[in-house]
């Protein structure tokens, strides 16, 4: 499948997890990559260009950190502008039918925080409901997100490189049509330990 990765991180210099993931990503050939903050440093998203990109690809993956239970601001701006009425939804808005929307997120809170008993009160997936509905309104499939919990401590815990390596495998599998989306739906959030059961025929 044709894979398009949107990378959105406004503070790259301070990122460990996302930079390691970007490095892993560069080793995957034949996928499209857009660094959103580099392409639109002044937030003036080129709607025509972005819509053409969506039309040209099958899997749209956003790689970004979780900011205030949502995406960084530019991703929201991109959604506001690109997913136009008549293109993505509404009358005649069928251009994204059947495509797949997926997120690769890093969350600072640890896994046990994102439970009903944890300090965030809800599972991570619950916070993504607006994005899931965005995909739904555009008739896109919202695939289970690939996530790294406790991203700020991940270096000490040695979880950065397995997560980045998992990311590389994930992208390769998506490109080669070797990723089992149905089985991935059994997980509310996919972590690198789960990939063995999701990749392969």
Least distance in angstroms from the C-beta of 98 to other proteins: 14
Per CB under 8 A, does 177 bind other proteins? no
- Report the length, in residues, of the chain: 201
Number of neighbouring beta carbons within 10 Å of residue 163: 23
Q: Is 13 in the site for other proteins (CB under 8 A)?
A: no
Binding of other proteins by 84 (CB under 8 A): yes
Q: Does the protein bind other proteins through residue 90 (CB under 8 A)?
A: yes
7-15, 32-40, 84-92, 176-184 -> range binding other proteins (CB under 8 A): 84-92
- What minimum distance in Å lies between the beta carbon of 125 and other proteins? 22
> Judged by CB under 8 A, does residue 97 bind other proteins?
no
Tell me which of 19, 39, 47, 178 binds other proteins, using CB under 8 A: 47
Q: Quick check: 71 binds other proteins (CB under 8 A)?
A: no
- Residue-wise burial string across 103-137, b where 16 or more C-beta atoms lie within 10 A, e elsewhere: bbbbbbbbbebbeeeeebeeebeebbeebbebbee
The binder of other proteins chosen from 30, 91, 117, 201 (CB under 8 A):
91
Q: Which of 159, 179, 160 is nearest to 169 (CA)?
A: 179
Q: How far is the CA of 149 from the CAs of 45, 140, 156, 160, 172, in angstroms?
A: 30, 26, 13, 10, 22
Minimum distance of other proteins from residue 91's CB (angstroms): 5
Exposed / middle / buried, residue 100 (Cβ in 10 Å: 0-12, 13-18, 19+):
buried
Structure tokens at 167: 């990311």
Residues paired with residue 34 on neighbouring β-strands, in sequence order: 6
Query: Binding of other proteins at residue 81 (CB under 8 A)?
Result: yes
Is 42 near other proteins (CB under 8 A)?
yes
Residue 41 contacts other proteins per CB under 8 A: no
Q: Which residues bind to other proteins, rule: CB under 8 A?
A: 42, 44-45, 47, 80-82, 84-86, 89-91, 137
């Amino acid at each position: 499948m044709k894979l398009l990765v949107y990378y959105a991180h406004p503070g790259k210099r301070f990122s460990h997890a996302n930079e390691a993931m970007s490095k892993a990503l560069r080793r995957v050939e034949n996928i499209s990559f857009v660094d959103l903050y580099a392409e639109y440093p002044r937030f003036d998203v080129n709607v025509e260009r972005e819509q053409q990109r969506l039309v040209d690809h099958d899997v749209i993956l956003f790689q970004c950190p979780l900011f205030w239970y949502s995406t960084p601001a530019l991703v929201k701006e991109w959604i506001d502008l690109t997913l136009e009425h008549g293109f993505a939804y509404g009358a005649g808005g069928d251009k994204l039918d059947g495509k797949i929307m997926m997120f690769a997120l890093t969350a600072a809170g640890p896994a046990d925080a994102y439970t009903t008993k944890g300090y965030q009160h809800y599972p991570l997936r619950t916070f993504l409901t607006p994005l899931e509905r965005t995909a739904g309104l555009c008739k896109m499939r919202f695939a289970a997100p690939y996530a790294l919990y406790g991203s700020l401590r991940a270096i000490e815990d040695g979880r950065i490189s397995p997560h980045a390596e998992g990311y590389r495998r994930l992208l390769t599998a998506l490109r080669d049509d070797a990723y089992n989306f149905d089985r991935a739906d059994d997980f509310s959030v996919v972590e690198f330990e789960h990939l063995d059961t999701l990749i392969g025929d």
